[in-house]
A and B are shown apart, each in its own frame.
Chain A
Amino acid sequence: MIRTVAALVVALALSSLLITVTGGSPPAALQALVRGSLGDATAVSLTLLYAAPLLLIAVGACVSARAGVFNIGQEGQVLIGALAGAAVGLRLAVPGPALVVVVLLASALAAGLWAWLSSLMHRLRGVDIVVSTLLMAFLAQQVVAFAVNTPWLLQESRLGRATVLPQTNKLPADALLGSIGHYPGLQINAGLLIAAVPAILVAVVLARTRWGFRITMLGLNPLAAQHSGVRVGALSGVALAISGALAGLAGAVLLTSPLSTNRLQPGTSLGIGWDGLLVALVARNRPLLAIPVAGLFAVLRSGGSFLAATGVPSYLVDVVKALLVLAFVAPPALKRWSSA
């Protein structure tokens, strides 16, 4: 604990140093960060919007990491989820608000399958899962780019225009996530609920059920798990699929909430797949801890765009994020090292 606090102080000191050296003012930057993310109802609404997909991805990463399967391809799984969601939302004639449910389910299913492919390749040919999830993230980017650049796939209709952009048509209103509740100025998107439920559910399942125990045992000692009757290959495949499905759900939330223009674009993922993974690392693979951490990373995202006004480039938040992860990852290792 003391080490972690010390590491956090060092991380913040380094960030302040960076701002000072490049001619900025750390207090002004902090103020802008806070004002941009928590300053008023609009800012808080934006922060909550970002928190939802971050949390979904992080919770998924917790599931697979706890099972001893390290999935680092969330960025691709987010995109595949968004792609499936867009395809279903634009092409399927589901009446009324049932459409958004179908969109969400399709996203989770497609991304879950996409992630599960890595597990399949591991079982059939011994392909390393870290490598295949990473390589497939770059494949997914090109799959989405292909889909939105190809008129007979998902590219927007020409409608007599001279140029069409690499994006899909706008999703119908029935496929979009609305706000829940009525608060003055504040918008709480349904995406937040979609993220909070799995977080709590996964925490309970991992901590309290037989299935969760198997997952944890598999992660801690695959051999012992196998000898006590766990079907190692199948279970780690399921864990990877769940992790992919939650990332895909995050993709659907990005696509159908006001974070995007509600059109699938190559950049729809906003790099949130990578960020969500970092959230899980800071939360040390605990789903409930991921809730406040996702909130913190969402603050950095929404506040980051306000930094530029103080003369500090918004890329600062990327440095802060990486330093935060280091501050949470290095101290336990330091402890293991000094006690070894």
Chain B
Amino acid sequence: MSLAGDIETVLFSGVRLAAPLAFAACGEYLAERAGTLNISVEAMMLGAAFGAVAVAGLTGSGLAGLLAGILIGALIGLVHGVLAHGLTVNTFVVGLVLNALVLGLTSYLIATATPLSRPPERWPLLSLLVIIPSTWWLVDRSRWGLELRAAGENPQAAAMTGIRVNLRRRQALLWCGALSGLGGAYLAVGEVGSFNQNMTAGRGYLVIAAVIFGGWRLARTLVGCALFGLADALRLALPALGVTVNSQLLISAPYLLALLAMLLFASRHNQPHALGRPSPRSGV
């Protein structure tokens, strides 16, 4: 194959690997701007991937599968929101537990069920064209987004002006769940066509790294997703092209880049000031 052909192959597979990340990154961006450093994005993607394949297999419709994925992701977002911003359980504890629970549950269920598989369908990719601009508009231009960002920057001041901080954070998590769910569902129904145990394999953490790498700006976050997708594509493609490459370096690139971005550009970053910190209950 020609060099141009090789590059084309790698680019295409990079886009396909980046797409599930991009859906979830929109959601994670939204949740983090509202002040929740949401690590249950892994659970949202994995649970949705499972639900999407199950429903798509039963109904024979990819669309139904995607909707199921969105619902499951949103449900996990709802549970996270109620526990962390209703009952004030530490948000990282909630995230860890949800990740462990969903990983265990989906592994258990797939081991007791007959695996379903169906041809992948890539059309949902197009919905990114709507989701990305509307996420930007919602967070950076709408009244709701302004309140959301206030909840992430200074919950006390926000509560003082009458913003229901914890409600906004719960709503942000709900959106995050729906979008991450769509990402997981797209991975399962759109790209792979089946579900296997732990199929997201840490993609949720990649999404978190992308938001950090992007300095809490949507456009740069998506650039991060594209880079991470490309690194993955290179790792998969280069050995076949006869190029020896350090696969460990390519796998760890996203985490290294996120850490470096935080170390080098911390002062120019847009990190919400109250990220990861709970809001007082008066802000319900």
Enumerate chain A interface residues (CB-CB to B < 8 A): 18, 22-23, 70, 72, 121, 124-128, 130-132, 134-136, 138-139, 142-143, 145-146, 149, 274, 277-278, 281, 313, 315-323, 325-326, 329-330, 333-334, 336-337, 340
Q: From B19-27, B45-53, B244-252, give the one contacting chain A.
A: B244-252
Secondary structure call for the A interface: helix
Q: How far is the CA of A143 from the CA of B104 in the complex (A)?
A: 27
Contacts of B111 in A (CB 8 A): 313, 315
| Count, A-B residue pairs, CB within 8 A | 126
Contacts of A329 in B (CB 8 A): 89, 93, 97
A335 nearest in chain B by CB position: B87
Enumerate chain B interface residues (CB-CB to A < 8 A): 37, 39, 83, 86-90, 92-93, 96-98, 100-101, 103-105, 107-109, 111-112, 202, 205, 208-209, 212, 246, 248-249, 251-252, 255-256, 258-259, 262-263, 266, 275-276, 281
Q: How far is the CA of A310 from the CA of B89 in the complex (A)?
A: 36
Contacts of B103 in A (CB 8 A): 318
B88 touches A130 (CB 8 A): no
Max chain B C-beta neighbours (<10 A), residue from A125, A130, A135, A274: A135
A139 touches B92 (CB 8 A): no
A125 touches B37 (CB 8 A): no
Interchain CB contact (< 8 A) of A132 among B249, B251, B259 = B259
Instruction: Please judge, given known A-B contacts A330-B89, A337-B86, whether A128 and B276 are in contact too, CB under 8 Å.
Output: yes
B87 touches A334 (CB 8 A): yes
Q: How far is the CA of A340 from the CA of B103 in the complex (A)?
A: 34
A127 touches B248 (CB 8 A): no
B205 touches A321 (CB 8 A): no
Q: How far is the CA of A319 from the CA of B86 in the complex (A)?
A: 24
Q: How far is the CA of A125 from the CA of B261 in the complex (A)?
A: 11
Contacts of A149 in B (CB 8 A): 248
Q: How far is the CA of A133 from the CA of B150 in the complex (A)?
A: 27
Tell me the minimal C-beta distance from A154 to chain B in angstroms.
Answer: 13
In the assembled complex, 14 residue pairs joining A and B whose CB atoms fall closer than 8 Å, in A order, are A121-B262, A124-B263, A125-B262, A125-B263, A128-B275, A128-B276, A134-B208, A135-B205, A135-B255, A145-B248, A313-B112, A316-B104, A318-B104, A333-B89
B101 touches A323 (CB 8 A): yes
Tell me the minimal C-beta distance from B52 to chain A in angstroms.
Answer: 20
B259 touches A136 (CB 8 A): yes
Max chain A C-beta neighbours (<10 A), residue from B86, B101, B112: B112
Contacts of A18 in B (CB 8 A): 105, 108
B263 touches A121 (CB 8 A): yes
Contacts of B108 in A (CB 8 A): 18, 22, 313, 315-316, 318-319
